[in-house]
Structure 1
Amino acid sequence: ADITISTTAELETSEPGLVAWYRFENNANDATPYNNHGAIGGNPTFAAGPGNAPAGSTGLAIVFDGDQDSVLAANAVQLISDYTTVSFWIRVDGQNLQDAEAYILDFGHWSGRWKISLPQHLKIVWTTNSENAQFPNAIHDMDSGDGNELVIGFWWYVTMVHDGERDIIYLDGQEVNNLPAPGTLNSTARPFGMGSNPIEGRQYFHGALDEVKIYNKALTSEEVMRLYASGTTGTEDLSAALDAVLEVIYPNPGTQQVQIAHKLSAGQSLLIRVMDAAGRQIDAVQFDKNELAGGQLIT
């Protein structure tokens, strides 16, 4: 049997598949256990993040002035995967008229893996480089489409997905464009850049970013909507199944000790996973067969 309960304990681990998370709380640190922290270039500032972001995502954001500001994180093996999801809050504050487009995020460039950029028309662009049966470097490039411009001065939640069949762009949890893009993403030895073109330089972004997340998998549309609405991809609701095996969980949520009275018969193994309020595992307790009596109270 497998029982999952929730507590308000401090977050210790990450969402499944989450390999980078830049919260920009006065720094460019990676909030995942990988600790792939970014180095800040230029003089970006930190200011209040999106006021409409879900609870837990409403701290500070990094603000680039469009003039030599950037963040650069080292290449890391956990960032290399066949499929990916990239999500972030963004506010456009202006345009760099010296360049055709500003680079928002770049990992391996259009010629190596993927990039996210903003041309003068303000329709955000998702570019991927993948390998398939026909081409070793299949480049796919699309923007968010007419009517989906990132209007200056407003916060938007952007999610980019490559699932091996399509590239998909979501704005505020809703799909706005997709493009056939068969294949697995190519690997890269380049660093991960934010706010500028990390390969050739320049093409600086003028605006703010917050809660940049990279996953090593393609999120579903349901997960993307949960991510926009709650700040996490969440976990499956197993309330009905839990009611069939649980008599009491008290207190729930809890911070130090939780009591569980179960309805399981003797001779069953049991794994209890302890989750935080965001649905992420922070602990686990394993009971082997015959170690737990039927209906026993666990504390």
Structure 2
Amino acid sequence: LPIDPKNNSSYYYTFMSGENYFELDCILESKTYRDKMTTDGGSRSDLYEVGTSIGLYKLSKLPQSAYIKAYWQFEEASGTIYDQTANNNNGTYNGILYQQTGKIGKCLGFDGDDFVNCGSDDSLHLTNVTIVAWINLDIAPYTYHSIYGHRDNIDKGYLFAVRPTHLDFTTYGVADVQSDAISWTTDQWYHVAVTYDGSNIAFYLNGEAKGTGSASMNAWDTTNVLSIGKAHGGLYFQGRIDEVIIYNKVLTVSEITTLYANGSPTR
């Protein structure tokens, strides 16, 4: 008899997230096909994963997952960049560098004029926020290299960027706050994060605290568009970006350290 003649819950899982996303997982019984569990592109090497979004298991296991407002894995080979949450904050990639080698699986490349337009949905207009990403620089930063830009045509919104010797968080029209000093190396993956509660800012690099600051911000406007890889009017990123997560919550140091540790295995 097969291991699981009655579909025991110990041997199969189904995950749903949003209207058009699903993941179906199972343990393969045949030794002949078990290697497929490690090469299916999913987040579990001990399960065979199929579906429209085979990172949903990972989403459910992230710290404070109920507060995730958007999660872009950048695994797509073409077309829409899908948000893995039920908020459907899908993006449009203005570039051609799909499926670059990522920190986890594949990622998107940004060569100085590429970016992802993630729209202006209210679910992204956050005052309590944590922004997390893996980045890899092609060149030494010489100005603002934008990771996350969220601004309209006037001074409302904020920017998270790499600068020559710092991470930077700008609340437009109010303040520009920098992390402690950082010595960047090209072609190396960094886990970067910033938290902001409407006043206090904290930076993190590779799971460790990297300085604090404070700034207020102007009220959100409904036209604020979120872009990954650029700021309003330019300041493009040059390199690769992977696993961008947006929380409607200020994460703790230990939670950010956990996110950094989650980036060690390969999907």
Superposition map of 1:203-218 within 5 A: 203-218=235-250
Which secondary structure does the structure 2 equivalent of 1:217 belong to?
A: coil
2:94 is aligned to 41
1:124 is aligned to 167
The answer to which of 5-14 and 216-225 deviates more is: 5-14
Superposed CA RMSD: 2.6
1:289 is aligned to none
Change (3 A) 1:122 1:184: closer
Task: Identify unmatched segments of 5+ residues in structure 1.
Answer: 51-57, 130-136, 232-299
Q: For 2:177, give the aligned amino acid.
A: M
The answer to which of 210-219 and 12-21 deviates more is: 12-21
Deviations 1:119-177 (A, max 9, x none): 3x242211235xxxxxxx6x23222222x233211100011100244100001111111
Kindly name which structure, 1 or 2, has the bigger radius of gyration based on alpha carbons: 1
1:291 is aligned to none
Q: Do the aligned residues in 2 keep the contact of 1:96 with 1:203 (CA within 8 Å)?
A: no
The answer to whether structure 1 residue 31 and structure 2 residue 81 are counterparts is no
Change (3 A) 1:217 1:186: farther
Change (3 A) 1:10 1:230: farther
Q: For 1:61, give the aligned amino acid.
A: C
Q: Do the aligned residues in 2 keep the contact of 1:91 with 1:209 (CA within 8 Å)?
A: yes
Superposition map of 1:64-213 within 5 A: 64-66=110-112, 68-95=113-140, 100-108=143-151, 111-119=155-163, 121-128=164-171, 139-146=174-181, 148-181=182-215, 186-188=219-221, 189-197=223-231, 199-200=232-233, 202-213=234-245
Which secondary structure does the structure 2 equivalent of 1:227 belong to?
A: helix
The answer to which of 153-162 and 74-83 deviates more is: 74-83
Report % sequence identity. 26
Which secondary structure does the structure 2 equivalent of 1:224 belong to?
A: helix
CA distance in 2, matches of 1:124, 1:7: 44
2:262 is aligned to 230
Q: Do the aligned residues in 1 keep the contact of 2:140 with 2:184 (CA within 8 Å)?
A: no
1:60 is aligned to 106
TM-score for both structures, normalised by structure 1? 0.62
How far 1:8 moved relative to its partner? 6.5
Change (3 A) 1:184 1:64: closer
How far 1:101 moved relative to its partner? 2.2
CA distance in 2, matches of 1:156, 1:96: 14
How far 1:190 moved relative to its partner? 1.6
Deviations 1:217-260 (A, max 9, x none): 111112111121126xxxxxxxxxxxxxxxxxxxxxxxxxxxxx
CA distance in 1, matches of 2:10, 2:168: 39
Which secondary structure does the structure 1 equivalent of 2:70 belong to?
A: strand
TM-score for both structures, normalised by structure 2? 0.68
CA distance in 2, matches of 1:7, 1:160: 38
